[in-house]
Amino acid sequence: MKKLKFPPPSESWLARGEYPRPQLQRDRWRSLDGRWEFAYDDEARWRHPRDVTFDRTIVVPYPPESTASGIGDLRFHPVCWYRTVVELEAADRGEQVILHFGAVDYHAHVYVNDALVAEHRGGHTPFSVNVSTVLGQGSRLEIVVRAADDPHDLAQPRGKQDWLEEAHEIWYPRTSGIWQTVWLEPVPTRNVHRIAWLPYLEHWEIGCGVEVGGPIEPGMFLHVRLKYRDQILADDRYAVTAHEVVRRIAFSDPGIDDHRNHLLWSPAHPALIEAEVELWQGDRRLDAVWSYTALRSVGVQGNRFMLNGRPFYLKMVLDQGYWPETLMAPPDAAALRADVELAIAFGFNGVRKHQKLEDPRWLFYCDLLGLLVWAEMPSPYRFSPGAVERLVFEWTEAVKRDVSHPCICSWVPLNESWGVPDLPTNPAHRDYVRALYHLTKTLDPTRPVVGNDGWEHVATDLITIHDYASNPAVLRERYATPETVALVLERQQPGGRALMAPGFSRAQQPLVVSEFGGIALIQDRAPGWGYSRVYGVEDLAVAYEGLLRALHACRGVAGFCYTQLTDTFQEKNGLATMHRVPKIDAERIATATRGKRKAVAMDVDPEDDY
């Protein structure tokens, strides 16, 4: 197949990454990030904004545990309060004024002008509220947020946030309260409320689902215009007779592969299709939004992962998504873009975003620059009816938020049996994993799902293994051929846990070594943690090259995920420092990462020198 050269994105595309909701953008919006009043409420005494004594300030959206917030307090504080006053300008006013929160960890109450206007549970997903009713004819918004985040509640989806006061082992400092952008948006009463895109490559179609907000009246219609660069792909009009409009938009199939490939999205060729969606009534335009989508397919076939109907070898890196000064909150959109560019510079074609639902702007840059993503739900650490209810609710919100991003190629609701600690012996735990798998497949039938990543598989489209063997010969012995892989699945426990739970047997799913490596570079007797250790830069380079050479030589795997992209607090096993400085020359890392086998050549015998 002829390799297509893909030009870098234009400045206008890159500028789109500043918008907090990348796939539904309007011309007008206003960030409320900046200094807010702040107070801790450790005894949870205050019940109303008028009760609160605000005694300090905080820089939103950075969590109070972070130094960037101006507070930097890592002690336990189960409740905190925020306050700001906004004077609306003419550009802020519309028929409705919507207040958006990207993420508030964990249980948020929002008051505007003394009225409770919103309540939301879930520390990683967005919510919004129409504040027009409490605004009236005025121009002043007093916004107060109460955020409750019990540091000891292990039934709460928390990901890598530690429940101890000081971060230990593989857990990190907590992130409480507001940690993603807060913003205002003027919106018409009748509006484009939500858009969902799903590609159907086998039919050369894009699925378009639009939720229409406000009253439905005669003569309303949607105008949908899709274009790739200067080429108009569709210019359609759909009558609006209900609040949901669902259509499949058929493209003219160019037929021959070389011509088709120009429109297909892949890491090497991240072709994005611009979408202009307008809501009209008669000759009056009611609302207009900008969006984008892509034409691509992901799936599994036998022991291969498939991208656009062809075998594709996954070369991924684990990304924790923490920064030294801002913790789980990204410093800005530029930092999100830089992380995507760093992974690509190291030769990876994908990222496993670990135990975090990342800011949607990061997904935008993955879409735009070409990086596949395994999207993973942050775990709770207890099993109970309440824990199940919380995770299912937030995971459903997460899939709904991110389903339209072409970069996402797999969903991962659970990791390493966290939240289901008795999975091998408790049927209820196994039923829960199966339920999450099938729920996810129901919400999005177009992508593979890994029910429980790493071991103790119950329901999955890919068999994933966490294997931190530091000897390359061991990795090569285990995964050299499909036959040796079968022996590993039957007899070995690389992570100290059974790879398949009782009642589950492999049905030729692809196998991905979804965690390996974890080599810590320890210098000058500094403290640090990793799955193995080296003490010099050259030693790290040689060790990394050895592990990658071993996996590239194996015909029994469909891909890998190296641990990890950057150091993260006490974990010193990144290919870059926590400040994103490569420990080894980036091109040397990339050469080892890419290997000599093409992404489509999993079934080709390795070269002799491997």
In this predicted model, what pLDDT tens digit does every residue of 326-336 receive, in sequence order? 999 999 999 99
What is the pLDDT at residue 201? 94
Burial class (CB in 10 A: 0-12, 13-18, 19+), 163: middle
Closest CA to 247 of 238, 256, 255: 238
In whole angstroms, give the CA distance from residue 18 to residue 41. Answer: 33
CA distances in angstroms from 224 to 25, 208, 244, 265, listed in the order given: 14, 9, 14, 21
For residue 319, give the H/E element and its range: strand 314-319
CA angle at residue 47 from 45 to 53, to 5 degrees? 65
Contacts of 578 (CB under 8 A, 6+ apart): 322, 323, 324, 566, 567, 568, 569
The stretch 79-105 carries a mean pLDDT of 92
More confident site: 494 or 459: 459
pLDDT higher than threshold 50 for residue 604: no
Sign of the CA dihedral running 396, 400, 401, 404:
positive
Burial class (CB in 10 A: 0-12, 13-18, 19+), 434: middle
pLDDT higher than threshold 50 for residue 524: yes
In whole angstroms, give the CA distance from residue 434 to residue 421. Answer: 15
Residue 135 binned pLDDT confidence (cut-offs 50, 70, 90): confident
In whole angstroms, give the CA distance from residue 172 to residue 175. Answer: 9
In whole angstroms, give the CA distance from residue 512 to residue 572. Answer: 24
pLDDT higher than threshold 70 for residue 168: yes
Average per-residue pLDDT in the chain? 94
pLDDT higher than threshold 50 for residue 356: yes
In whole angstroms, give the CA distance from residue 37 to residue 408. Answer: 37
pLDDT higher than threshold 70 for residue 205: yes
Q: Where are the alpha helices (DSSP H) in 251-332?
A: 257-260
Q: Are strands 559-563 and 511-517 parallel, antiparallel or unpaired?
A: parallel
2 φ/ψ angles, rounded to the nearest 5 degrees: -70, 130
The stretch 585-607 carries a mean pLDDT of 73
What is the pLDDT at residue 527? 87
Question: Which value, to the nearest 10 degrees, does the dihedral of the CA atoms of residues 584, 585, 589, 590 take?
Answer: 160
Contacts of 126 (CB under 8 A, 6+ apart): 21, 100, 101, 102, 103, 180, 401
Residue 1 binned pLDDT confidence (cut-offs 50, 70, 90): very low
pTM above 0.85, yes or no: yes
Angle between helices 333-345 and 360-369 (to 10 degrees): 40
What is the pLDDT at residue 605? 38
In this predicted model, what pLDDT tens digit does every residue of 546-567 receive, in sequence order? 999 999 999 999 999 999 999 9
pLDDT higher than threshold 90 for residue 225: yes
CA angle at residue 102 from 117 to 395, to 5 degrees? 95
What is the pLDDT at residue 124? 97
Token pair 């390996």: residue: 516
| 195, amino acid identity | I
Closest CA to 552 of 314, 293, 297: 314
In this predicted model, what pLDDT tens digit does every residue of 49-84 receive, in sequence order? 999 999 999 999 999 999 999 999 999 999 999 999
Q: Are strands 231-239 and 220-228 parallel, antiparallel or unpaired?
A: antiparallel
The stretch 128-133 carries a mean pLDDT of 94
In whole angstroms, give the CA distance from residue 476 to residue 553. Answer: 7
What is the pLDDT at residue 609? 33
Q: What is the CA radius of gyration of the chain?
A: 24
For residue 538, give the H/E element and its range: helix 537-552
Closest CA to 592 of 558, 555, 553: 553
Burial class (CB in 10 A: 0-12, 13-18, 19+), 45: exposed
What is the pLDDT at residue 547? 98
What is the pLDDT at residue 314? 98
What is the pLDDT at residue 93? 75
CA distances in angstroms from 482 to 302, 487, 489, listed in the order given: 11, 9, 11
CA distances in angstroms from 606 to 476, 481, 483, 549, listed in the order given: 12, 11, 16, 10
| 435, amino acid identity | A
CA distances in angstroms from 271 to 5, 67, 88, listed in the order given: 11, 39, 38
pLDDT higher than threshold 50 for residue 603: no
pLDDT higher than threshold 60 for residue 263: yes
Q: List domains and CATH numbers for the chain.
A: 32-186 (2.60.120.260), 190-293 (2.60.40.10), 313-594 (3.20.20.80)
Which of 114-128, 228-242, 361-375, 497-511 has the lowest average pLDDT? Answer: 497-511
pLDDT higher than threshold 60 for residue 98: yes
What is the pLDDT at residue 252? 84
In whole angstroms, give the CA distance from residue 287 to residue 275. Answer: 14
Residue 2 binned pLDDT confidence (cut-offs 50, 70, 90): very low
Q: Are strands 104-105 and 96-101 parallel, antiparallel or unpaired?
A: unpaired
Query: Which range, 260-264, 459-463, 527-531, is most confident?
Result: 459-463
Burial class (CB in 10 A: 0-12, 13-18, 19+), 91: exposed
Whether residue 543 contacts residue 535, with contact meaning beta carbons closer than 8 Å, is answered with no
